[in-house]
Structures are given as C-alpha cells and as structure tokens.
Structure 1
Amino acid sequence: MTRPTSTSTEQTADGAEDFTTGEGLRALLNRLAEGGEDAWVHDPVARDLMEFAADKYRALARKHRLDTWEAVTAAFDAMQYRSTREANDPWAIITHAVRITCVYEERAQGLLCSVHQARRAHVSAFHDPERFSERDTALADYHPAFHTTDLRPSDLEPEPRDSLGSAQACMSAGSAAEDAIAMLCLLDWPADTARAAVEHVCGALTKAGTRQSAYETLRRDRHARALLDLPRRSWAALLKALLGNPHPAYVATSSGRGILLRLLLGETLDLLLRDDDLILALALAAPSGGGGESS
C-alpha cells in the first residue's frame, strides 16, 4: 500500500530535517528527487543521511561478512525508487532491500559468481566450493565419485552374485555353507559354533537378499552373537570373512567377495586355504571358550 507524496518536512530542534523518522525521510527523498541529478552531490543533508545509513546497517553488513559501504550502496539504490518514497514506512522498505542485497552478495562471494547469478534459484541451490585441503580426510577416502573399481567378467554375471539364496543356487549354496563350516573347523573353531554361525549368516543372507544388507544387519545383531556365545572380535571377523569386506574399494577383490561368494563362483576349499590373509584372520579370531568380551 502506498501513500501520496508529501511536501511537509519534519525538523529537529535545531531546524535540521529529521530523516530518522519515516515521514522525515519521505520528505527528504522527495526534495532530493525534485532537486535533480546534482541534489545528492551538493545537499549537506544527503551526506548526513548516508552516514546515518552506514551506522544503521553496519551490523547487518558485518553479519554477512561485507563492507559497511556495500550495505550503504544498497540503501542508496533503494532510496531512488518512487515506491520507496510512497511507502507507508520508507525505512522498512530500505532495510528489506539492504538485507536481501547482503544475503545474495554473500552467496555470490561464496559461489564465486556475480550477484545477478546468485539471485537465481538454480544457482544459489549449490553449496560453496571447497578446496581439497579444507578437510583432514583426503577427498578420495570419503567422496563416492572416487569409489570406482574395474569390472571383471564375473561382476557382469547375473545374480546370484548378490542373492545367494535364490532358487537356482540352492544346491550350490548348501555346498558352499558346508565347505565354509569345514574351513572354520580346520582353523580350530568349535564344530557346533561354526555350524550354528554359518547357518545363521546364510539364513540372514537369504532374508536380506544382498551381502551388504546382510552384513549391516548381522553386525548390529547383538542377540545373535549372544546366542552363539561369540566374542565381538570373533563375530566381526567371521562376518567379514563369510560375506566380504563391505567397503567399496574391495568390491572386486577376494577380500570384498567373502568365502560364500568365492565358493559359489567356483573356488575350492583347497584354494581358499591358500589365502594367507584369510586364514590368519580366522585363526586369530577363533573363540577360545566363549564370548568373554563385552559388547
């Protein structure tokens, strides 16, 4: 809602124009607008107005990490509009314009683009650019764009690569489970513990459908570990050995595939027993009399 222009001028006790009020500012802006292009240059009250605006918007500019006179420039631009002079509260219009300008000026500096571009929604939606050195962790260690692996012929085969419990793989899955149990027994795991653990993992794998989902479910399954009476160290090593290391960097390696998938893909028990890293991990994790470690 706008108000008609007014020619009256509010004055302070010493006779100067009181531009700190809405009506006083309106009167001053009307007089400057009628004075032509040179009015802002030669009028002493205009200088006082800009100094007052600098004090008024200094905190707002500092909040957005801007120089005070950038906010003053935005205020000066808003004062030139007729809509500002005719508004119910000219200072409210100017303050709003300064705030909006400061917001987009800050976004433009963060995005390394112009203020005009930063005002566009499809541009301001992006986050500020980051330097590689701004994080303690290397970019390749956490960004998914760098987690790529070379595909092998077996990686292009249809499931049951990630669905070991499918109907077509029932016979081979059962054989793989028996070989896994036999391997654990050869590495000093108690026979009853090895069988119960492998069967529980296979059951969870059938329900989950993928090795990664089964691994995450079983890793947090304290109830199952308590029933199997396995220490946390042994349980963690067993899951990683049977289902593979879930980290994307190991997806195409023997460590990432796990014992069950390697057996399904045609590796034999004798071949698995030649994997020194696997054998050492399972041998060191063999339970020696129950789950004595705390959760």
Structure 2
Amino acid sequence: MTENTHTTTERPTESVEDFTTGEGLRVLLRRLHASGPGGWRRDPLAAELMVFVAEKYAPLARKHGLDPWEAASAAFDVMRTRAARTAIDPWAVVTHAVRITCIFEERAQGLLCSVHQARRPHVSAFHDPERFSDRDNPLIDYDPAFHVTDPTPTVDGKSQDEDEPLAGASTSASAAVEDAIAFFTLLDWPPSTARAGIEHLCGALTRAGTRQATYEALRRDKHARAQLDIPRTSWTALLKAVLGNPHPAYAATAAGRGVLLRLLIGEPVTVLLRDDDLVLAVSLAAPREPGGGGSR
C-alpha cells in the first residue's frame, strides 16, 4: 500500500485573516464586498478591523486636531471602494486617502465650510478667519488687504493738487536729509550726533541700494557705532526710524516707510511730529549726553 506523499499548498486560515498585512486586508475586503449589504455589520472581523484602523490612524488624526474615529470613518469609506480591493498595497491606498481627508477636514474647520468646499483650490487658498482682536498689533499693520500705496502724496489726509509747488516729487534728497536731522534735533537728539548718524546712514544706503540691506548691514556694524559714539539702543532706534521697519508686513505703513522716505514723498516735519509712536520711539532713544552717553 503506497502512502500519499503529496503536500498541500493551501494557506492557513490565520494568514488569510491577518488584515494587518496588505494581502490579508485585500482578502478580507473582497469577502466583505462579496457578502453583500450588511456584511460589515455581521462579520466580527470587520469590527476588529475598525478598532485596528482607529488605533493605527489616531496619531494622524490628532496631528490635524481630529478624533481618531473621524480618521477611522475616512478609512471605512475608502475600504469599501474597488480601488482598495484591487490595489497592489491596500494599506497604502487607505493611508493616503485618510491623510488627504484629515488635511481637508482640518481646513474645513478652519475655513468654517464643508469638506467638499475645502477640497476646492479656490476655497482652500484663503486663510482661516480671524477676529480683529486676535492679535496684539492692529490688523492694518500686518494684513496685506489693508496695504494701500497712494501714488499721490497727501498732507493731513488731503490730496495735494498738481499745481501746488509743495508736491512730494519736488523734495530733494539733500533737503530730506536736512529735515530728518532737524526732526531728530527737535526730539532732544544732540545736533552733532543726529547729523553724524544720519549722514553715515545715508552713505551706507547709497552703497547698498535698498533700505532693508542697509538696515541689516548697519545693525551689525559695531565699528561704525563706536566711531559715531552712539549707544546701541539709540543706534537701533535711529535705523528703524530713518529707514523704517524692514519687515515686509510693514512695507506700506508709516512704520515701514521710515522718516527719510516719508520726507521724500512730501510729508513735512510737522506731520511727522504728529506721529505719536514715532515721536515716542525717537525721543526715548535720544542719547543722554552730547557725545552719545548712555550704556552700550
């Protein structure tokens, strides 16, 4: 009697039901699909799969401020599709879909709209709504929507006529420098210190070509500050006041233009003296002694 030596090549049931692998998930999804309506409710392995999915995508959900079961819900939706059942790597398809859903779910909550709308590029391009009181600085100082550059110089809010001789275009660079020196002198800066600092700044501006490059170069120039005998706090205040705040958010504001540019576009010294923030910053930074004084 001859024994049957043929071995079977069938896979164990445990390996087929191991949904943690790509092949096992594919087999389970096909079986659930073939079982028809109600298959996900009746099959006990489906409940285990959803618990595993919720734990697997919990970190991704928390990253986007969502509940883990919201990520599990997104995974459930994609696992019922044909793409997940026929994919080479079903888990890769599910993970990618859950990540995209979490991203747009977070955007929808921020934009106060539906997920369907948040997926549209022309909607998701907007920033999240903010209250006017959400930030310490006024909204007009950093929001580009409020940045308006008026090509016509104004004085006291009134536009100057083209026939008036005091148009901003007629202000020369040398006159603007002298007015800037006079402005600092009126705010308790020693005349010699104000003249030496502003003239040195203007020379550096001529070489650098841009206000931002000049500000960055002079801010670190300890040698120039030592030669001019100006304290560090006074030197920094001088640079910000004359050149303006270098941050792009302030480019179209009075703080970003600086004293020199405001004088060049036609604003007189009397208008600058009405800028309380500028006057306060310049006067507080004035050197205590004629030769500079103060701590460095």
What is the TM-score with the length of structure 1 in the denominator?
0.60
Provide the C-alpha distance between the structure 1 equivalents of 2:268 and 2:126, rounded to a whole number of angstroms: 48
Task: Render the CA deviation track for 1:17-63: whole Å, top value 9, x for unaligned.
Answer: 33333222222221222222232233333233223322332332222
Question: How much has 1:193 moved relative to structure 2?
Answer: 6.7
User: Does the C-alpha gap of structure 1 residues 259 and 76 become closer, same or farther in structure 2, counting only changes over 3 Å?
Assistant: closer
Instruction: Find the counterpart in structure 1 of residue 169 from structure 2.
Output: 159
Partner of 1:49 in structure 2?
A: 49
Whether 1:17 and 2:27 are equivalent positions in the alignment is no
> With CA pairs under 8 Å and 6+ residues apart, which has the higher RCO, 1 or 2?
2
Change (3 A) 1:228 1:49: closer
Aligned to 1:113: 113
What stretches of structure 2 of length at least 5 have no aligned partner? 1-9, 149-153
Alignment gaps of 5+ in structure 1:
1-7, 166-172
Q: CA deviation at 1:234?
A: 7.2
- 1:79 paired residue number: 79
Q: Which residue of 2 aligns with 1:126?
A: 126
Q: Is the 8 A contact 1:54 1:72 kept in 2?
A: yes
**Secondary structure class of the residue paired with 2:136:** coil
Kept in 2: contact 1:204–1:214 (CA 8 A): no
**Distance in 2 of aligned mates of 1:119 and 1:209:** 44
Matches of 2:204 and 2:11, distance apart in 1? 83
Percent identity, please: 53
Q: 1:240 to 1:258 in 2, by over 3 A?
A: farther
Question: Is the Cα contact below 8 Å between 1:9 and 1:28 reproduced in 2?
Answer: no
Distance 2:189 2:27 in 1: 95
**Mapped partners of 1:29, 1:265: distance in 2:** 74
- Of structures 1 and 2, the larger Rg is shown by 1
Deviation at 1:256, TM superposition (A): 5.7
Distance in 2, matches of 1:49 and 1:234, equals 67
Question: How far does the alpha carbon of each residue in 1:230-258 deviate from its partner, in whole angstroms, 9 at most, with x for none?
Answer: 556777898899x6988945899xx9689
Equivalent position amino acid for 2:34 in 1: E
Give the number of equivalent residue pairs.
261
Name the Cα RMSD after superposition.
5.2
Q: CA deviation at 1:78?
A: 1.4
Q: Output the CA distance in 1 between the equivalents of 2:139 and 2:267.
A: 34
Amino acid paired to 2:92: A
2:19 maps to amino acid: F
Corresponding residue of 1:291: 292
Question: What aligned pairs does 1:221-236 form with structure 2 within 5 A after superposition?
Answer: 223-224=223-224, 226-230=226-230
**How far did 1:102 drift?**
1.3
Using a 3 Å threshold, how does the CA distance of structure 1 residues 67 and 146 change in structure 2: closer, same or farther? same
**Contact 1:10 1:18 (C-alpha < 8 Å) held by counterparts:** no
When residues 223 and 125 of structure 1 are mapped into structure 2, their CA distance, relative to the original with a 3 A threshold, is: same
Q: 1:293 to 1:92 in 2, by over 3 A?
A: same
1:133–1:199 distance in 2 versus 1, CA, 3 Å: closer
Assess if the C-alpha contact under 8 Å between 2:193 and 2:290 holds in 1: no
Closer, same or farther: CA 48–159 of 1 in aligned 2, 3 Å: same
Q: In the alignment, which residue of structure 1 is the partner of 2:61?
A: 61
- Higher mean C-alpha displacement, 213-222 vs 90-99: 213-222
Q: CA deviation at 1:260?
A: 7.5
Cα deviation 1:88-111 (Å, max 9, x = unaligned):
222222122212211221121122
Distance 2:56 2:239 in 1: 64
Question: How far does residue 153 in structure 1 lie from its aligned partner after superposition?
Answer: 1.1
Deviations 1:105-132 (A, max 9, x none): 1121122222222223343333322223
1:168 alignment counterpart: none
In 1: Cα distance, 2:189 partner to 2:19 partner: 90
Q: Is the 8 A contact 2:288 2:294 kept in 1?
A: no
1:104 has 2:81 as partner = no
Distance (whole Å) between structure 1 residues aligned to residue 262 and residue 138 of structure 2: 31
